[in-house]
DNA sequence: CGATAAATTGAGACCTTTCAAATGGGGTGG
DNA sequence: CCACCCCATTTGAAAGGTCTCAATTTATCG
């Protein structure tokens, strides 16, 4: 096992994972070809390229950073699934949101010096790394990109608002419907899969922690939903997801988000 | 009764409330004197002044904007309490966060064209109004202010993350402790009152909707907390709030936020 | 093919909710 | 200044959704 592999499988890192200089060039970023991401000037893409200090790989189940740490980096997810979370002193955990490719993470940590939440990988994760210190430079040199950063922040907040509505006011059945609906919708938009076949690396414990439920009750509720044929779950993949009915179950009226910037 | 008074007491406005041109000048804004707000260059303050198109007053219990509307404005709260909320088709409501003086609201609505949440006044509200269309100009002309906008957005998200942790993983007793703690801390920082005496315009139904509880259970839980002498509540004011013990009850370890920008 | 983690299933306890109804406070009209 | 009304707060009692504890079965991984 080489050094790099060690850093990839490290679940409890004393230091941060090594940055790999060999990296995809922003102009060729496969994400940028997706239509969920709005077009961007060549000049801006080139500027973003100058900010990119490399890439980091984190193994499935690995920790990117913990609550209270001061991560030196800001990342955009290139591929893989992850989640942001907070915990209580006795260990109870709340998953704040699921992070997918194209999502910008670490903004709060950047602004507050101390991350108010942790970030953990669900699958192997490939992250684009930006140096922490240069964020303000971005705003100065390219106001449009600064505006985009704000946009992405507002979008993330809107997603959390939705989750808060679920956790606070929806029943377990409704919450779960809403979560599956949103996740599959996002996955489809990102080309990760289809409603008929979508990779789903979350464990029932993750779902429970995201919805404020116990793992056991999550299990029973998923059973209900499957029996109702709202989706099927085999191994780590979701099949035959009935988006329209999930939407109705959850009381969701707007389908979701439009295009967004990619930084 | 004049036209202005009518617009103030309108609870169900077909149009938006009238903008009052007579307004406090930003340089003399009383909020700016508080030490929670970071110092700002005279030049920037003057620029913000040029963005300010007036002020709006909303009566207690009045609606500022609803879910799905397209508010033409962006506001900073000058005085008063309000809350952001979302609802489900059958009327269940989740309060997302409590809005206090200095908070910037409507950013999401601005970015998404359609507000994903509503905003309602708890007390009489005085809002500083910025025109919707000029937000990007701000980023271009004053990158530092754009950066501040992002900061405020990230701060709000961090607050919602905390609430999500409460609603998802804290017991009713813990959630309520956390809520009172945060609200009183914020109120003290803003000079709205002290731990010994703080105005508290929320109804138990509001608290219930913010914490995902029923109003009845909220009532019983508040009774417990009062019996434990963590605070007293007479009319619309909170007295003798025991911040340290509330913090411990809620499992909160960091006291909160530092200074922040005022826009 | 063991070893460990995840998913299930059963059963009873418990926190919260719902349904009902009483009490209290504040505002309004007389 | 008082009667009356509406809304928020309380309190009681029972139903119910979720949780915890335990144990079993089924995947996953080296």
Is A167 close to B165, i.e. CB distance below 8 A? no
Give strand C nucleotides closer than 7 A to any protein Cβ.
Answer: 5-11, 15-20, 25-26
- Residues A209, A148: Cα–Cα separation, whole Å: 30
Flag whether pLDDT at B10 surpasses 80: no
**Mean pLDDT lowest for which of A57-66, A214-223, A229-238, B4-13?**
B4-13
Q: Which of B195, B185, B153, B152 is CA-nearest to residue B252? A: B185
Task: Indicate the SS3 state at residue A213.
Answer: coil
Q: What is the pLDDT of residue B8?
A: 39
Which positions in strand D are less than 7 Å from the protein's CB atoms? 8-13, 17-22, 27-28
DSSP letter for each residue of B103-135: -EE-HHHHHHSS-SSEEEESS-EEEEEEEGGGH
Answer yes or no: is A220 CB < 7 A from strand C.
yes
C-alpha pair distances (Å), B198 with each of A79, B34, B103, B176, B191: 48, 17, 19, 16, 10
* H helical segments located in chain A: 3-9, 42-51, 107-112, 135-141, 143-169, 172-189, 204-211, 215-227, 243-250
Selection from A142, A58, A164, A166 nearest residue A105 by Cα: A58
Report the candidate in A247, A241, A98 with the shortest Cα–Cα distance to residue A178: A247
The residue whose CA lies nearest the C1' of nucleotide D11 is: B220
- In the block, residue with structure tokens 């990007």: B136
Separation of alpha carbons B184 and B197, rounded Å: 9
Strand partners, B74: B130
Instruction: Please give the distance of CA A7 from its chain centroid, rounded to a whole number.
Output: 21
Q: What pLDDT sits at residue B22?
A: 63
Cβ neighbors of B72 (< 8 A, separation 6 or more) are B16, B131, B132
Q: Which residues pair with B104 in a beta bridge?
A: B76
Integer Cα distance of B130 and A171 in angstroms: 39
B88 interaction partners in chain A (CB closer than 8 Å): 165, 169-170, 251
For residues B115 and B63, the answer to whether their CB atoms sit within 8 Å is: no
pLDDT tens digits for range B11-35: 434 346 678 776 789 999 999 999 9
What is the separation, in whole angstroms, between the first and last Cα of chain A? Answer: 33
Q: What is the mean pLDDT of residues B89-117?
A: 91
Contact check, Cβ <8 Å, A147/B139? yes
Tokens of B212: 């995902």
Cβ atoms of B233 and B239 within 8 Å: the answer is: yes
Residue A131: its pLDDT value, please? 83
CB B4 within 8 A of CB B56: no
pTM for the whole structure: 0.93
Map tokens 């009045």 to a residue: B62
Length of chain A as a residue count: 263
pLDDT of B7 over the 60 cut? no
Summarize pLDDT for B179-188 with one digit per residue, the tens.
999 999 999 9
> How confident is the model over A15-38, as a mean pLDDT?
85
Output the pLDDT for position A71. Answer: 81
- B66-95: b (≥16 Cβ within 10 Å) or e: bbeeebebbbbbbbbbbbbbbbbeeebbbb
* % of chain A residues with pLDDT over 70: 93
- Strands (E) in chain B, as ranges, are 52-58, 63-65, 73-79, 82-87, 93-99, 104-105, 118-121, 125-131, 197-199, 232-234, 237-239
What phi-psi label fits residue A167: left (phi over 0), alpha (psi between -120 and 50 degrees) or beta? alpha
The answer, yes or no, to whether residue A256 has pLDDT greater than 90, is no
According to DSSP, the β-strands at A118-121 and A82-87 are antiparallel
pLDDT tens track for A187-201:
999 999 999 999 999
Q: Above 70 in pLDDT, residue B239? A: yes
State the average pLDDT over residues B152-162: 95
pLDDT of residue B16: 60
Residue B171 beta carbon within 7 A of nucleic strand C: yes
Look at residues B48, B11, B25, B6 and name the one whose alpha carbon lies nearest to residue B262. Answer: B48
Which pLDDT band holds residue A143 (cuts at 50, 70, 90)?
very high
Give me the CA A130–C1' D14 separation in Å, rounded. Answer: 58
Residue with tokens 């920790």: A63
pLDDT at A116: 92
> Within 13 A of B27's CA, how many CA atoms are on the CB side?
7
Contacts of A119 (CB under 8 A, 6+ apart): A63, A64, A65, A82, A83, A84, A85, A99, A105, A106
Q: Does nucleic acid strand C have an atom less than 7 angstroms from the CB of A223?
A: yes
**DSSP of A165-185:** HHHHHS-HHHHHHHHHHHHHH
């Amino acid at each position: 096992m080489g050094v790099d592999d060690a850093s990839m499988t490290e679940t409890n890192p004393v230091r941060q994972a090594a940055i790999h200089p060999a990296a995809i060039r922003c102009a060729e970023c496969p994400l940028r070809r997706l239509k969920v991401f709005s077009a961007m000037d060549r000049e801006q893409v080139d500027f973003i390229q100058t900010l990119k200090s490399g890439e980091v790989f984190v193994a499935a189940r690995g920790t990117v950073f913990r609550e209270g740490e001061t991560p030196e980096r800001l990342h955009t997810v290139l591929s893989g699934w992850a989640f942001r979370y907070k915990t209580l002193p006795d260990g109870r955990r709340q998953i704040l949101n699921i992070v997918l490719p194209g999502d910008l993470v670490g903004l709060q940590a950047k602004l507050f010096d101390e991350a108010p939440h942790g970030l953990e990988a669900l699958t192997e994760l490939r992250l684009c790394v930006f140096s922490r210190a240069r964020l303000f430079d971005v705003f100065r040199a390219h106001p449009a990109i600064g505006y985009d950063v704000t946009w992405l922040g507002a979008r993330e907040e809107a997603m959390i608002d939705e989750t808060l509505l679920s956790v606070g006011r929806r029943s377990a059945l409704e919450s779960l419907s809403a979560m599956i609906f949103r996740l599959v919708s996002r996955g489809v938009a990102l080309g990760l899969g289809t409603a008929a076949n979508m990779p789903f690396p979350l464990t029932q414990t993750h779902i429970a922690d995201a919805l404020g439920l116990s793992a056991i009750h999550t299990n029973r509720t998923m059973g209900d939903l499957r029996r109702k044929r709202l989706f099927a779950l085999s191994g780590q993949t979701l099949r035959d997801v009935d988006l329209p009915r999930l939407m109705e179950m959850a009381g969701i009226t707007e389908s979701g988000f439009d295009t967004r910037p990619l930084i």
